Amino acid sequence: MTLRDILIKRRDSLVKKWFELILETYPEDSRDFFRKQKNQFANPLGYNLKEGISGLFEAIVEHGCDREKAAPYLDQILRIRAVQEFSPSVALSFVLDFKKIVRNELPGEPDEILAEDLERFDRDMDEMALHAFDIYMKCRERIFELRVNELRNLMFGALERANLVSFPGEEKQVKENKI
């Protein structure tokens, strides 16, 4: 039996354990809500995490850690975690946690064929973690760009209201202060 066969056979258990490990990074009261509330509109974070993990599992197992197939699911999860301002190590830990989950799911010592599959799987998951880091950093860069633009707009608006900004072709009206 190959590693892929084992993973497919234990899909539901693996996805559930993986989701639980992600929830461990949130406060306890939030975890309970994310677990119990199934409605995607009442619980968009929990819903997107579950959907992302499920799709990522498919990309890893069904498509042999295909980066192109995994990218939208990684993005779905990492956008949330980037906005929540997790540190990169915490935000990305779920990728490497999957390796631990898989190891715990395997019975005893792996045979020679399974050992080769595990070695390839570990290498693929390490590459997936690096790819996830790139996605996370792009999300964080976009957030910082939005913040800078918002600050720029706020400052411009304040200067404009104070009549300290003039545009080409306009005469700047200076108010006289009378005491």
CATH number of the domain that residue 84 is part of = 1.10.490
Inside any domain, residue 168? no
pTM: 0.78
- pLDDT tens digits for range 113-140: 788 899 999 999 999 999 999 999 999 9
Inside any domain, residue 179? no
What is the rounded distance in angstroms from the CA atom of residue 132 to the CA atom of residue 37? 27
Inside any domain, residue 177? no
- Choose between 112 and 54: higher pLDDT: 54
Inside any domain, residue 175? no
Q: Domains in the chain: how many in total?
A: 1
Answer whether 22's CB lies under 8 Å from 94's CB.
Answer: yes
Buried-state track 57-73, b at ≥16 Cβ within 10 A, e below 16: bbbbbeeebebebbbeb
- pLDDT tens digits for range 29-71: 888 888 888 788 888 888 999 999 999 999 999 877 788 999 9
DSSP H stretches of helix in 10-111:
11-23, 28-36, 44-61, 67-83, 88-105
Inside any domain, residue 138? yes
What domain range includes position 17? 3-161
